[in-house]
Amino acid sequence: MPPRRNGKYKLPVPLPEGKVLDDVEGKQWVLGKMIGSGGFGLIYLAFPANKPDRDAKHVIKVEYQENGPLFSELKFYQRAAKKDCIKKWIERKGLDYLGIPLFYGSGLTDFKGKSYRFMVMERLGIDLQKISDQNGTFKKSTVLHLGIRMLDVLEYIHENEYVHGDIKAANLLLGYKNPDRVYLADYGLSYRYCPNGNHKQYQENPRKGHNGTIEFTSLDAHKGVALSRRSDVEILGYCMLRWSCGKLPWEQNLTDPVAVQTAKTNLLDELPGSVLKWARSGSSCCEIAEFLACVHSLAYDEKPNYQTLKKILNPGGIPLGPLEFSTEGQRVRVYSPPNKKVDSQKTATKQVSQMQDKLTQKVHSDRSAESFATWRREQNQDRLSGSRNSEAAQVDSQKTATKQVSQMQDKLTQKVHSDRSAESFATWRREQNQDRLSGSRNSEAAQEGRKRRQKYRESSELLNEINTFPPKSSYVQFPNSFYEPYQNFTNQDIISKSRSPPWYTCTSPNGTGVTDLESSTGLWPAISQFTLSEEAKADVYYYGFIILFLLILVCLALYVL
């Protein structure tokens, strides 16, 4: 029976070293020394009772039985992470390994009147948080390598109806015997988002808001929405940004969850510029910016395209090598010594040129040759226009160089996505739409996402339709009006033609339609033109014919009688 979720859990009283634990399958495990503690439990070295080993290859996680996290982790392993299932997945995907720790057994034990739940796991090495505390940041290649390995893990657990929900450096551990491998551990907050194939519905619950590790948790978690697949990949994006830059934009406000949520919203809404500007001087986060942009476009119940995300992190498809956590050679130093004076504009122009060339290499490989050539011509023109005023720029050349570098970064930011060829973008859009329609037609959040993504396209089509309207001389064109043009009913032609018999119509020399009575000479035309308006004359003609017709009928009736 699952434990009740009290929200707050207690650390258990430590068990004595050497205590023997019996798991549910009858295997006996001997506790070694305690090597750590998590938020809710303790971790011990362990070895099988029938195979004593000084260098333990297993660990045992222990919690009080009423605690919830270890129970959730145990259920995840029993349902989704059995050894045979992981082995088949590795063979199916052609992987060399999958970063999920192996599970060996579980059970219950008693100590001093308290019941404990324990789980036997594979022993792992140091976690990345300790390495990050020592080095500050990771090399770019290491960050992208970690991202790809985590995508392998997330794809597997997502296919088995679970999300992790707490990806961070403290939960990423290197292998004990293979330190070049990385594993995602601690599934205490894992959540079954799609039980029996039925995806959870999007529903905000402020009472459950801001759950998880506040630095990395997703926007859905901030809103109290049940985690989904897009939450995991969003959290991974924040982690990569932290590993690459050494900090996150909202780290100063961690005590205010609402402020953190607002900062994350602004970061995602202003992609890719928000990420590129946050990157350290001399470093590049183009891949992370594009990764987050792709993640931000996902609907709540949409399945991420894991292969596309991997290609963003490794566009060249280069085989992954061993992990390296040294920061040596990571920074690209593009600056002048603080006490060195810049003598001429030539030095500043050279620095700008070097920055342009290095940033140029970061632009995506799928930019077409024609658009790249156009972009190069624009940069050359900017260089020429900046070098013509060298005499005036000598006084403040260092400030000018800094400003030009900033402008160039902004330009390249705008070109990261806008220069993608129309054909590749259309293909990408069709693939996204097909995947999105197949999984999110009945989701309220998905409908909102589709409306948001179609807003710009509908606006463009609307403007195109307006521009195709033919010009009218009898009314003023309003670009946002869809009503019929205003008809000028004071026109003499309309009145006369709508009410006069066709056999009385003729054309005057000046092109105005008039009747035979109006064009004839005599007393009657003179009197009518002198005393009656044009509209009144038309009424007189109309009712005159009616009276004449009635008189004829009366005469015929009298004649018959």
- The C-alpha torsion from 327 through 328 and 330 to 333, rounded to 10°, is 130
Identity of the residue numbered 52 = P
Provide the Cα torsion 128, 43, 22, 106; round to 10°.
-40
Which of 26, 9, 22, 135 lies closest to 73, judged by CA? 9
Picking from 307, 267, 266, 305, the residue whose alpha carbon sits closest to that of residue 289 is: 267
Catalytic residue among 23, 127, 152, 166: 166
Which residues have CB under 8 Å from 53's CB, separation 6+?
A: 47
Q: How far is it, in rounded angstroms, from Cα 56 to Cα 104?
A: 14
Return the axis-axis angle of helices 286-296 and 397-418, rounded to nearest 10°: 40
The C-alpha angle with vertex 448 and arms to 312 and 308, in degrees rounded to 5, equals 15
166 is catalytic: yes
Strand locations in 4-136 (E): 20-22, 28-37, 42-48, 58-64, 103-111, 114-122, 124-127
The b/e string for 404-431 (b: 16+ C-beta within 10 A; e otherwise) is: bbeebbeebbebbeebbeeeeeeeeeee
Tokens of 490: 């004071």
d(CA 351, CA 334): 7
With 0-12 CB in 10 A as exposed, 13-18 as middle and 19+ as buried, what is 247?
A: middle
Active-site annotation, residues = 166
